[in-house]
Structure 1
Amino acid sequence: MSLLFIGIDPSTGDHESPTVWVDQEKKELVLQGWKPGHELEAECAALQLPGHAVGIPDSEAVIRIPARMVDMIREACDAVERANDVR
Structure 2
Amino acid sequence: MTLHRLGKDPESPEGKSPTVYYDDVTGHYLLQGWKVLDAERLRQLDIPDHETVIEFPQRMMQFFPEVNGSGGTGTNS
Same topology, TM > 0.5: yes
2-side partners of 1:44 and 1:5: how far apart?
A: 28
2-side partners of 1:57 and 1:36: how far apart?
A: 15
TM-score normalised by length of structure 1: 0.66
- Unmatched 5+ stretches in structure 2: none
- Unmatched 5+ stretches in structure 1: 46-55, 81-87
Identity across matched positions, percent:
36
The structure 2 residue matched to 1:66, chosen from 57, 61, 65, is: 57
| CA RMSD of superposed structures (Å) | 2.2
1-side partners of 2:8 and 2:41: how far apart?
A: 23
Report 1 or 2 for greater relative contact order, CA contacts < 8 Å, sequence distance ≥ 6: 2
TM-score normalised by length of structure 2: 0.74
Q: Say if 2:41 is the partner of 1:40.
A: yes
The structure 1 residue matched to 2:65, chosen from 62, 65, 75, is: 75
2-side partners of 1:43 and 1:28: how far apart?
A: 26
Which residue type is aligned with residue 18 of structure 1?
Answer: P
Q: Secondary structure at the match of 2:34?
A: coil
Please report how far the alpha carbon of residue 76 of structure 1 lies from its aligned counterpart in structure 2 after TM superposition. Answer: 6.5
Looking at CA atoms only, which structure, 1 or 2, has the larger radius of gyration? 1
In the alignment of these two chains, the number of paired residues is 69
The structure in which a higher percent of residues are helix is: 1
Contact kept? 1:22, 1:76, Cα under 8 Å = no
